[in-house]
Amino acid sequence: MHNFDLLPSLLYKINENQLALEAAIMELTLWAEKLGATEVSDNVRGSLSAIDRNEEFIKMTLAVMMTPD
């Protein structure tokens, strides 16, 4: 197996990690909101929106890369 063949699997795993981190950070955000730290939670939600904006592109790119020639 060539090293290049590992790239789609690597990117898939990185994407999984990114989504898991997003979920964990959102849990902390909800906790911060309950404690009254609304400014902090608003800032975190704004930062996490980048993950949401890029998720569809990442999924499409991974699908193309993992499709056999």
Residue 29 lies in a domain: yes
Instruction: Give, in order, the Cα–Cα distances in Å from 32 to each of 18, 27, 60.
Output: 21, 9, 33
Residue 7 lies in a domain: no
Residue 67 DSSP one-character state:
S
Residue 37 lies in a domain: yes
Residues in contact with 15: Cβ distance below 8 Å, sequence separation at least 6, in sequence order = 58, 59, 62
What span, in angstroms and rounded, lies between the C-alpha atoms of 53 and 12?
17
Residue 53 is part of which domain span? 23-63
Number of structural domains (the chain) is 1
Residue 18 lies in a domain: no
Residue 15 lies in a domain: no
pLDDT in tens, 10-64: 888 999 999 999 999 999 999 999 999 999 999 999 999 988 889 889 888 888 8
What span, in angstroms and rounded, lies between the C-alpha atoms of 59 and 39?
31
Provide the 10 A C-beta neighbour count for residue 1: 5
